Amino acid sequence: MSAPQWLLQSEVGLCPCGCIGVRRKGSFVAKTLAGASGVMRQAIFSDDIAARNGLLQRLDPRVKLVTMIGTLVVVALVHSLPLLALAYVGTVVLAAVSGLPLGFFIKRVWLFIPIFTGIVVLPATLSVVTPGDVVLPLWHWHGHTHGVTEQGLHGAGIIITRVATSISLVVLLTLTTPWVRLLAALRALGVPKIFVLVIGMAYRYLFLLLDAVDDMYTARKARTLGPDREGRRFVAAGAGTLFGKSHQLSEEVHQAMVARGYTGNARSMSAFRLRTADAVWSAGIVAAAVILLVLDRGVL
């Protein structure tokens, strides 16, 4: 083996004139990858919360899953804004007694609502969509005042509160139940084995593939000088490489499962036991649901 001449000479890394390069913002690829490693941090953080000794953490995951789904249905049926607001306050109280950091919990729910729900309900607040008493005039048309109506605001408030309460319930469930126990609960409630197994493995290998993407990007960044204009091409090529890697890995994983007796019917360690706390919780949730529905239909 003989090395070419250029490899035997050292090269100046920086421009010999001593000029300084232009500082540039990170590309969309860098930002996406930063988000990807955020997923990993988030998962570890969620595991820590699920391991705390709070009210919801002590409940059987099956009971928690069923009662949460039931509560979601009830929240969807309630049409009273004060009652929905009360339900939302209830989720915040549950978060507090389960040891969740309240700032994080509230931010996690309200960060997405303006983006997804706010944009959708915004037109519904206007008199052209929801006629009624204009509380904020915006324009005049043929002698009529148009703008935000009281009825529109009320409707938008109901939708936003309902979405906030529903998201809070789902966040409560996922943050207070370890992922493994949640999957086992799904299985115990009759969700097909293969479905649960696939979700579990997808979650497991998500981190491995995130690592692979991170490595690929870091390796590329280490060899990139100047502005990076090939980001999209890198993403396309990276996706292809990752597809090949994940295919190879899936084959090995399957072999490792077969080697230990897997024949298409996975068995799990999780065994659940119902306790008094689960019964008390279920009774409390049923009572709260009935009260909400009765108040919604009758009094308010």
Where along the sequence are the contacts to another protein (CB under 8 A)?
40, 43-44, 47, 51, 178-180, 183, 200-201, 203-205, 207-208, 249, 252-253, 255-263, 266-271
Q: State the nearest-atom distance from the C-beta of 2 to another protein, in Å.
A: 16
Q: Which is nearer to another protein, 32 or 268 (CB)?
A: 268
Q: State the nearest-atom distance from the C-beta of 183 to another protein, in Å.
A: 7
Q: State the nearest-atom distance from the C-beta of 5 to another protein, in Å.
A: 24
Q: Which is nearer to another protein, 40 or 96 (CB)?
A: 40
Q: Which is nearer to another protein, 53 or 263 (CB)?
A: 263
Q: Which is nearer to another protein, 112 or 207 (CB)?
A: 207
Q: State the nearest-atom distance from the C-beta of 206 to another protein, in Å.
A: 9
Q: Are 272 and 185 in contact (CB under 8 A)?
A: yes
Find, among 224, 246, 249, the residue nearest to 29 by Cα: 224
- Residue for token digits 């991170």? 214
R_g (Cα) of the chain, nearest Å: 27
- Give the C-alpha separation, 177 to 173, whole Å: 6
Q: State the nearest-atom distance from the C-beta of 177 to another protein, in Å.
A: 12
Q: Are 217 and 201 in contact (CB under 8 A)?
A: no
Query: For residue 140, is it left (φ>0), alpha (ψ between -120 and 50) or beta?
Result: beta
At residue 76, what are phi and psi to the nearest 5 degrees? -70, -25
Q: Which is nearer to another protein, 29 or 196 (CB)?
A: 196
- Give the C-alpha separation, 117 to 158, whole Å: 11
The neighbour count for residue 185, using CB atoms within 10 Å, is 22
